[in-house]
A and B are shown apart, each in its own frame.
Chain A
Amino acid sequence: MTPQSCFMVAAPIAPGQETGLRALLATMNTAPGAVDPNNALVPFARFDRLHVARFVILHDETLDDLRLYGTTFENPPVWLVFLGDCDGPAEAMLAEFAALAGAGLTRIFGHCEGFSRGGDLLAWMQGRSVTPATQYVNWVGRTVRQIREEAALHAALRDRLQRGAAAFEAQSPLEVHRQLAASVRQDGPPLTPPAPTPFPWLASKIGNMIGVPLALLVLLPFFVLGAPFFLWELRRRETSDAVIVPRPAPEHVHSLSVLEDHDVTNQFSAFGIVKPGRFRLWTLLFIFWVLSFSTRQIYTRGRLARVGTIHFARWVFMDDHRRLLFCSNYDGSLDSYMDDFINKVAFGLNLVFSNGVGYPRTKFLLSGGAQEELAFKYFLRRHQVPTQVWYKAYPGLTTADLARNTRIREGLEAQTMIEAEAGRWLAMI
């Protein structure tokens, strides 16, 4: 199995360079929201281990909210971030970018502070790499290659079933399965067997599987002792923290919606400020620690809690933990995404985002918050920033498609199968 990893390069845009950079990034799209996969700057389609990638300018319009928390954010940098998810190590991905798209990336990053055109691009990018606080992969181990092969398999099987429908109707599901399996062995499409799982990755995962619960166990007595104080302080803050949820301006919403719904999958980038003070930050760090454990050990096969529509997501601290970036790639329109958040995982959203400035009022970190439907939707939309360039390697395919195609392949390769299983397998096609 080839594990996925994520890369992110973040650099402040040099003064006076933002407008030019926006114009340059726009040349990578055929229309706003629709990337040209073969664009001249970073021809994403050439990188066959790349799942998704984006360029985002993090220009936060909500910094004034901090005044309601009695503080300010002086001279905030405007960040350019380049991030994505890939098969195999992220370092190798960045090296590939530098090798195959060096000229384009040089033009892009030339708008950032501290970039020297003659210098080593890869070293510069590595120096500005940022690790997320938590990352989520819908299906750990499923490569771009596998996704494409399995989509081709589904199309081929559907086609063969359709063409032979008259003959297949009279046969038992097991017999149909046998014939289809034989036809794939003979005529393809080809299916590459999974690569061996890298040992260091596996070892670190097992270490994490044992280490985190162990650490939690050791810390448990301290948590029990500290809980009353923590809860008292938490409630004090939850009842007094300013809620800032005005309806987002129509122009802002328009700048976002023009980029959306060109494919079945959409991008989401949101930027906000962590509530000032150590209390919220430490709470957040602890939550991310537990969340990372869950996305590494538990939510690795198609679902993040009850939500199954997210391909990749991550939370990243910026500006020395003062700000938080959330990026995801999800199926459906933003409204259905937010409805899923509210109706299925409100508690999860609250755990993280209630530590952000302005979030709707929560109770004990879990309830309230996202359950304030409109306030929550306004909050998310207001903190969302336009994603200038967004690429996905398999347009038209949702996580549900990918999961179904994988199961079809598993069924095809199954050594033993009973009649009922074969029937269900056929129905999936």
Chain B
Amino acid sequence: MATPNSEFADIQGLLWSGYGSLKQACFLLLRVTDAAAARAWLRDVSESVATVEQLRREHVGRAMQIALTADGMRALGVASTVIDGFSAEFISGMAGEEGRSRRLGDVAASAPSLWRWGGAQEPHILLMLYAEENLDAWHLQIEAGLGNGLAVLHRLPTTDMGGMEPFGFIDGVSQPRIDWSGERVPGTSADLEYGNLLTAGEFLLGHRNEYGRYTDRPLLDPAQPGAASLVVAEDDPARRDLGRNGSYLVMRELAQDVRGFWRFIAAQAVHDGDRIALAEAMVGRLMSGDALAPTRGQPIRGVGPNELDIARNQFTYDEDRDGLRCPFGAHIRRANPRTGDMPGGRQGLVTRLIRLLGLGHQDLSEDLIATSRFHRILRRGREFGDRIDRQVALRPDAPDPRGGLYFICLNANIARQFEFIQNAWLISAKFDGMSGEADPLLGNREPMPADHRTDGFSMPQPSGVTRRIDGLPAFITVRGGAYFFLPGLRALRYFAAG
């Protein structure tokens, strides 16, 4: 069985890196207007798609990545029997069902009917351009080369905010690490504790996931046209794997109300230090990137050896059970609760059995959060709009910087990873047994049935009387989004061959 690291030449570079050193980026949303011409274009550009292999081997000054929606595959003429092999949520699309929009919190001001792109008019192809310099010239050249097979639906330009997101926090501090060498055996007693090293199959189709299984993807009969150029499926040697080395790419345009965020905070606290402390409590990290929760002595699998990584990520919330350091509802505590397979971590066989039967719980608030390793994503977002700092944002005459984030993440099972995190952890008003609050940054503040509010934020205090803020406005509005498939290079050539 081939390990993921033997196939770096078939994997798009985005799986390896967010191209942090390529400060300029622009995303193009394309629609296919002529299938044959579009396929010819795809054939040409597929040669210049950056791979992990290249990133590891040489300095890359600019990089192109390509992803497709299910609509895009259809428009290119891919047989529906092939597309049907992709996951149901990918085929249906981010805005394909009202139920999905409810689960993702895409309602009211964030409803798909109000989106700038995605939803009613799905993009077909996502073309991602990253460059050290001279992006504009390259971008123009790319657009000129689109020919008559493709039309630009939207251009999504980005802004280099120096590693910060528009509210002023360092972004992308914590990422899961992929076990490229395939050494990790998931599901052993080591997983009773939180770990950050995950099997490649959580992000790449065609490889074993955290269940030790293969996530569904199109497997083709080798006699089907084009299938012979694909590799044999590891779990089904009679068929060829179109999903191999590909990943689902989730993209959402999140408009951030930077002025509204800092003004709301300023209304809660007078001194600048207190304001920053409140904003940091909402995020769960200091503005510098360090976690509020205390770091611990013992190493965590998949964190370090880089000192900065240890300083920022060698922690779980076991050392902050009362939420006194990092509030339970803080953004990063919701987005990755750092839970192992069982509360209490490693333990003797008898204790484990007792806990498995649900008999050894310390108290009712224990074991409410699912195990983290099945719900992780690789984040690859980029900022847009003008960058203004909080002092400027607080001035009455401050212009709207129209800032925000192109949230981009990679995962192998959209329902179990991205959608679960968004639904059960981020926007849930019931996360970790709380009530009345959703994610302080991402929540849409819409009340639930029977008028249960979701616009609070609570900070447990040593005195016992929790500090509670009510009436948070929505700081983020979703303005577009789609589910894409970021194929491996062989699969990309398959799509191009038609």
Contact = CB atoms under 8 A, between A and B. Distances in A.
A257 B356 CA distance: 31
Nearest to B187: A371
Interface string A397-416: 11011011001000000000
B358 interface: yes
Given A306-B356, A332-B424, A401-B435, A258 B465 contact: no
Interface stretch (A47-55, A122-130, A295-303): A295-303
A313 interface: no
* Chain B interface category by residue count: 35 or more
Residue among B99, B102, B341, B466 with the highest chain A CB neighbour number at 10 A: B99
A332 B375 CA distance: 15
A253 B88 contact: yes
Interface in B393-431: 415-416, 419-420, 423-424, 428-430
Contacts of B361: 303
B98 A258 contact: yes
Interface string B88-111: 100110000111101100000000
A395 B420 contact: no
Contacts of B134: none
A158 B469 CA distance: 12
Interface in B63-105: 88, 91-92, 97-100, 102-103
Interface string B449-486: 11110000000101111111010000000000000000
A401 B371 CA distance: 21
B267 interface: no
A34 B99 CA distance: 13
A247 B450 contact: no
Nearest to B420: A335
B82 to A, nearest CB: 14
Contacts of A424: 464
Interface class of chain A by DSSP: helix
B317 interface: no
A260 interface: yes
A333 B88 contact: no
A322 interface: no
Nearest to A402: B364
Contacts of A254: 97
A299 B358 contact: yes
A303 B368 CA distance: 11
A176 B464 contact: yes
B322 interface: yes
A333 B423 contact: yes
Contact of A373 (B213, B429, B451, B467): B213
B277 interface: no
A259 to B, nearest CB: 8
Nearest to B211: A373
Interface string A339-373: 11011000100000000000000000000000111
A162 B358 contact: no
Interface string A415-429: 000000011111101
A331 interface: yes
Nearest to A426: B464
B368 A308 contact: yes
Nearest to A347: B356
Nearest to B360: A306
Contact of B341 (A339, A343, A347): A343
Given A258-B98, A339-B420, A374-B213, A396 B463 contact: no
A403 B363 CA distance: 10
Nearest to A294: B357
Contacts of B370: 336, 339-340, 343
A176 B465 contact: yes
Nearest to A164: B465
Nearest to B361: A303
A305 B358 contact: yes
A224 interface: no
Contact of A306 (B98, B367, B448, B464): B367
Contacts of B467: 165
Contact of A343 (B371, B452, B460, B463): B371
Interface stretch (A72-80, A215-223, A261-269): A261-269
Interface string A305-348: 11110000000000000000000000111011001101100010
B374 A343 contact: yes
Interface string B275-291: 00000000000000000
Nearest to A301: B364
A275 to B, nearest CB: 24
Contacts of A162: 468, 470
Interface string A18-55: 00000000000000001000000000000000000000
A396 B464 contact: no
Given A247-B88, A303-B358, A429 B466 contact: yes
Contacts of B341: 343
Contact of A339 (B356, B374, B463): B374
Given A335-B420, A396-B449, A400-B364, A427 B466 contact: yes
Contacts of B463: 169, 173, 423, 426
Contacts of A158: 468
Interface string A58-82: 0000000000000000000000000
B355 interface: yes
B304 interface: no
Nearest to B371: A343
Given A257-B99, A426-B464, A396 B452 contact: yes
A166 to B, nearest CB: 10
A10 interface: no
A373 B216 CA distance: 11
Contact of A335 (B98, B209, B368, B415): B415
Nearest to B460: A427
B423 A305 contact: no
B216 A374 contact: yes
Nearest to B434: A400
A427 B468 CA distance: 11
Interface string A142-177: 000000000000000010011001001100010010
Contacts of A373: 209, 211, 213, 416
A250 interface: yes
Contacts of B211: 342, 371-373
Contacts of B452: 264, 395-397
B465 A250 contact: no
Contact of B358 (A258, A264, A307, A395): A307
A264 B424 CA distance: 10
B431 to A, nearest CB: 10
B465 A262 contact: no
Nearest to A172: B463
Contacts of A304: 358
A342 B103 CA distance: 21
B445 to A, nearest CB: 15
Contacts of A261: 99, 102-103
B92 A250 contact: yes
Contacts of B428: 332
Contacts of A335: 415-416, 419-420, 423-424
Interface in A86-135: none
| CB-CB nearest 8 A-B residue pairs | A426-B464, A423-B464, A396-B452, A257-B99, A305-B358, A400-B433, A395-B449, A396-B450
11 contacts: A247-B216, A258-B99, A306-B357, A308-B364, A339-B370, A374-B215, A396-B451, A400-B430, A404-B435, A424-B464, A429-B466
Given A305-B358, A332-B424, 19 more contacts: A173-B465, A247-B88, A261-B103, A262-B449, A263-B448, A331-B430, A336-B424, A373-B211, A396-B449, A396-B451, A397-B452, A398-B430, A398-B435, A404-B364, A422-B464, A423-B462, A423-B464, A427-B464, A427-B466
Interface of B: 88, 91-92, 97-100, 102-103, 209, 211, 213, 215-216, 322, 341, 355-359, 361, 364-365, 367-368, 370-371, 374, 415-416, 419-420, 423-424, 428-430, 433, 435, 448-452, 460, 462-468, 470
